[in-house]
Amino acid sequence: MRENTLPWSYIGHYRWQSSPLENIACLCISSGLVPMYVGEIAPRAYRGALGTIHQLGVVIGILISQIVGLDFVLGNDDMWPLLLGLSGAPAILQSLLLPLCPESPRYLYILMGKHQEARTSLHRLKGEYDPTEDLEEMRREKEEADKEQRISILSLIVSSVYRRQLFVALMMHLSQQFSGVNAIFYYSTDIFTRAGVSQPVYATIGVGAINTVFTLVSVALVDKAGRRTLCMAGLGGMCCCAIAMTVGLKFQNDFSWLSYVSMAAIFLFVSFFEIGPGPIPWFIVAELFSQGPRPAAIALAGCCNWTSNFIIGMTFPYIQAWMGSYVFILFAVLLLGFTVFTYLRVPETKGKTFEEIAAVFQKGRKINKDSTELQQLKSSSDA
């Protein structure tokens, strides 16, 4: 099974309105294989920027869907079948471009043992150059992968060898969803209405545009400032915005100008989200794990992310009814906790090889115990 084969063009996919089955397929492919494929083919110096472009494709798709869903465009009783049908256009484009995309060199070299094909794939990706350095890095990673073998999801969960990486990966995905960003989207129309915006739908589209602009900012900064720095800045900024939003919601009936504070807080909240906590968790999981446990880790992180998304979507109306104007204080507390966790536990992966990142988590461990457990994992995988 070619788990890592995915067209590079998919980073520009459009998330049109679609059927439930299409959504499931989109979540499975986009959330798992795209970041893994991009992480494996990207040059080390641009791994963060190229990983963030995946998120850029998502937010562009959201913005386009918001625009074409307007009543006077396609979001009306007469044109909705066309709007629904357009959801198949990106899939058709993806299918046509798939044969043009090279297989992941890491997949070919490390998992398949096809060294010459890996060299050819590197030349297709980077042009004519000397791939000796890249192949040597893959050789070292293959030596480690041969010790690990492929690790199942259950083995990864129970293993203490990868517990630190897995905990960091899951916490970063939890920070993305429990930051309250989806609650912001749920609540934004009401806030804009209270602020006196006659057409709040256009303000919501403005939020989508801010989404896109600051994802571009993240593309430019992620390989300069680093993943850890941008995540801390984003989470900390979102925490402050959540507090400002709470103040605005609580006192806007007494001071009308506070409605505009709430509006500004929404735009800033989304901006901080897209700088770090939005795009980074999707690709950093592929950086934290070596080739053996990487697919299982990405599957677990994606499951954690979308489960959290479902929980927020289902429970937010009840939390809002219970807490009223103080609902975003809950998210502010969570964001503060996630900021502290990122500072204490998340390593910087900028510019590091997968081998160097793995070494960060190996510090302070008992090597003999870990070696024995790796052999047990290998035996269970072979069985």
Res 8: pLDDT: 32
Above 60 in pLDDT, residue 381?
no
Asked if residue 27 belongs to a domain, the reply is: yes
The DSSP code for 31 is I
Q: Helix 280-288 to helix 354-362 angle, to the nearest 10 degrees?
A: 80
pLDDT of residue 85: 86
Q: What average pLDDT does range 341-358 have in this prediction?
A: 89
* Of 373 and 183, more confident: 183
Question: For 362-366, what is the mean pLDDT?
Answer: 64
Can you give the residue range of the structural domain that contains 227?
8-101+149-382
Residue 139 domain flag? no
Residue 174 pLDDT class (50, 70, 90 cuts):
very high
Please identify which residue in the block is written with the tokens 């457990």.
Answer: 373
Task: Provide the number of structural domains found in the chain.
Answer: 1
**Virtual torsion, Cα 339, 340, 341, 345, nearest 10 deg:** 110
Q: What is the pTM of this model?
A: 0.83
Q: What is the pLDDT of residue 95?
A: 85
Q: For position 142, what pLDDT does the model report?
A: 85
In a domain, 306, yes or no: yes
277, pLDDT greater than 90: yes
| The predicted structure's pLDDT at residue 366 | 55
Q: How far apart are the C-alpha atoms of 242 and 265, rounded to whole Å?
A: 7
Report the chain's mean pLDDT, rounded to a whole number.
Answer: 83
Decide if 228 contacts 342 (C-beta within 8 A): yes
Structure-model confidence comparison of residues 151 and 229, the more confident one: 229
CATH number (domain holding residue 255): 1.20.1250.20
Tell me what pLDDT residue 220 has.
93
- Is 143 part of any domain? no
